[in-house]
Structure formats: structure tokens, C-alpha cells
Amino acid sequence: MIHTNVTDEELNTKIEETYYKIIAMFGKLEYAGCFHLAVAVALYNADCKRLTDLFRTESEIVDSTPAAIERNIRVYLRVILEDKSIREISEMIGYPLSDIDGTIKAKEFIAALKLYLTVNED
């Protein structure tokens, strides 16, 4: 379901690269959700049907709980939306995110961000 068929070193490198790209795009590195989002994006693949599976895998890597990871990512998304509109974020990543009552769905954002970063890899 979630690709983890890479070495720990490769995964750590991917997480670090993703983390710095997210900081460059959205800032707010002081929020734990920034790091948790980077890990989720690094682990995500199109076969992932449920975020709970993704967060469970992440919790084993970062020694946290799935609930804490989800909460931190959702807080980070709310903080991002204080500085940028959903339309602006959609334009940045080249994907029309759903605007549901002024919030972004975490799964949609993780998937769209993964696609954006994959297409725009250096």
C-alpha cells in the first residue's frame, strides 16, 4: 500500500529533500506538521487509499501516534491558509484543490503535493 521498499538512508534523504521544499514553498518550519507533512508526502503513493494507513506507517518511522501526526498536519494546513488562499496554493502546485468551507482536505493536498514535487524534481 505504501512504498517502503527503499533503504533507511534513501528514505531519510527523500524526507529531508521534501521537508526543505515544503519550507521553501510555505515556510512555518516551527510547526511539527511541516515535518509530518514532509514524511507523509515522501511515503505517499497513488495506491494509498486511506490516510490512517499512511499515518500508521509514518508513526512507526517518527515514533509518534497516527492521531498526533494527523492533527499536526491539519494544524499546519490551517496555518498555511492564514498566509495563502486555496486558489494561490492551487496555482503554486498546479492542481485545483477542493475548497470545502475554506479548508483543504489533507489526503488531496498530500497527493497533489507529491505529484507536484515528483514532476518538478531537480
Any idea of the CA torsion for 11, 15, 18, 22, to the nearest 10 degrees?
170
Instruction: Please tell me the distance from the alpha carbon of residue 16 to that of residue 37, in angstroms, as a whole number.
Output: 11
Residue 82 has pLDDT above 50, yes or no: yes
Domains in the chain, start-ordered, CATH in brackets?
A: 8-119 (1.10.10)
4 close to 40: Cβ distance less than 8 angstroms: no
Q: CB 5: neighbour CB atoms within 10 A? A: 7
Q: What are phi and psi of 104, to 5 degrees?
A: -110, 135
* Statement: residue 38 has pLDDT above 90: yes
pTM above 0.85, yes or no: yes
Q: Calculate the average pLDDT of the chain.
A: 88
What is the structure's pLDDT at 1?
Answer: 39
Average pLDDT over every residue of 81-96: 93
Q: Which residue has the higher pLDDT, 49 or 33?
A: 33
Estimate to the nearest angstrom the gap between the alpha carbon of 94 and the chain centroid. 16
Residue percentage of the chain with pLDDT more than 70: 93
pLDDT band at 122 (very low <50, low <70, confident <90, very high): low
Distance, CA of 88 to CA of 26 (rounded, Å): 11
Model pLDDT, residue 89 = 94
Mean pLDDT for the stretch of residues 57-68: 91
pLDDT at 18 over 50: yes
